[in-house]
Amino acid sequence: MKLTKIIFFMFMLLLGACGDNEETDSSADVMYHHNFRPYYHYTPQANWMNDPNGMVYYDGKYHLFYQYYPYGTTWGPMHWAHTVSTDLFHWEDQGIKLYPDELGYVFSGSAVADLNNTAGFKTGNETPLVAIFTHHQNITGRQVQSLAYSNDKGDTWTKYENNPVLDNPGIADFRDPKVIWHEASQKWIMVLAVFDHIRIYSSPNLKAWELESEFGKNVGYHGGVWECPDLFPLKDEQGTVKWVMLVSLGGNENSEPNGGSATQYFIGEFDGSSFVSENEEILWADYGIDNYAGVTWSNIPEIDGRRLFIGWMSNWAYANVVPESGWRSGMTVPREIKLKKRQDNSYVLHFSPVDELNTLVDPQKTIAPETPANQIHVDYHEIIAGGSYQVEMEIIPSETDQFTISLGNELEDLTIRYSKTSGEFTIDRSNSGHVTFNNLFMHEISCDYQATGETLPLTLLIDQNSVELFINQGEKVMTALFFPRYNYKFFRLDGYTQNKFIKSFTINALKKSLIR
Give the binding site for ligand FRU (CB under 6 A): 50-51, 67, 78, 107-108, 134, 175-176, 227-228, 293
Please enumerate, as own/partner, the contacts of 341-348 that have beta carbons within 8 Å and a separation of 24 or more.
341/236, 341/237, 341/238, 341/240, 346/278, 346/279, 346/280, 347/236, 347/242, 347/267, 347/278, 347/279, 348/267, 348/279, 348/283, 348/475
Is residue 80 a contact partner of residue 55, using CB atoms and an 8 Å limit? no
| Greatest extent of the chain over all pairs of C-alpha atoms, in Å | 73
**Distance separating the N- and C-terminal Cα atoms of the chain:** 29
CB neighbourhood size of 379 (10 A): 9
Question: Smallest distance from the beta carbon of 150 to ligand FRU, in angstroms?
Answer: 21
Per the residue annotation, which of 20, 25, 29, 51 is the catalytic one? Answer: 51
Nearest CA among 16, 33, 14 for reference residue 486: 33
Is residue 492 a contact partner of residue 375, using CB atoms and an 8 Å limit? yes
> By C-beta, is 190 or 507 nearer to ligand FRU?
190
Q: How far apart are CA 389 and CA 466, in angstroms?
A: 11
> By C-beta, is 190 or 416 nearer to ligand FRU?
190
- Which residue(s) pair with 358 in the sheet? none
The question of whether 494 is a catalytic residue gets the answer no
- Whether the CA torsion 330, 336, 341, 342 is positive or negative: it is negative
Q: How far apart are CA 434 and CA 294, in angstroms?
A: 26
φ/ψ of 372, rounded to 5, equals -65, 155
Question: Smallest distance from the beta carbon of 147 to ligand FRU, in angstroms?
Answer: 16
Question: Smallest distance from the beta carbon of 143 to ligand FRU, in angstroms?
Answer: 8
Residue ranges in 226-354 assigned as alpha helix (H): none
> By C-beta, is 187 or 222 nearer to ligand FRU?
222
Task: Give residue 174's Cα distance to chain centre.
Answer: 22
Q: How far apart are CA 158 and CA 469, in angstroms?
A: 41
Nearest CA among 145, 115, 150, 274 for reference residue 208: 145
Pairing of strands 143-150, 158-159: antiparallel
Which H or E run contains 11? Answer: helix 3-18
Is residue 162 a contact partner of residue 183, using CB atoms and an 8 Å limit? no
Question: Smallest distance from the beta carbon of 227 to ligand FRU, in angstroms?
Answer: 4
Question: Smallest distance from the beta carbon of 471 to ligand FRU, in angstroms?
Answer: 26
Contacts of 302 (CB under 8 A, 6+ apart): 183, 232, 233
Q: How far apart are CA 94 and CA 71, in angstroms?
A: 17
Contacts of 505 (CB under 8 A, 6+ apart): 368, 369, 371, 373, 376, 391, 392, 393, 394, 493
Question: Smallest distance from the beta carbon of 219 to ligand FRU, in angstroms?
Answer: 20
Question: Smallest distance from the beta carbon of 427 to ligand FRU, in angstroms?
Answer: 22
CB neighbourhood size of 19 (10 A): 15
Question: Smallest distance from the beta carbon of 269 to ligand FRU, in angstroms?
Answer: 26
Question: Smallest distance from the beta carbon of 278 to ligand FRU, in angstroms?
Answer: 26
Residue 225: CA count within 13 A, CB half-sphere: 14
Give the active site residues: 51
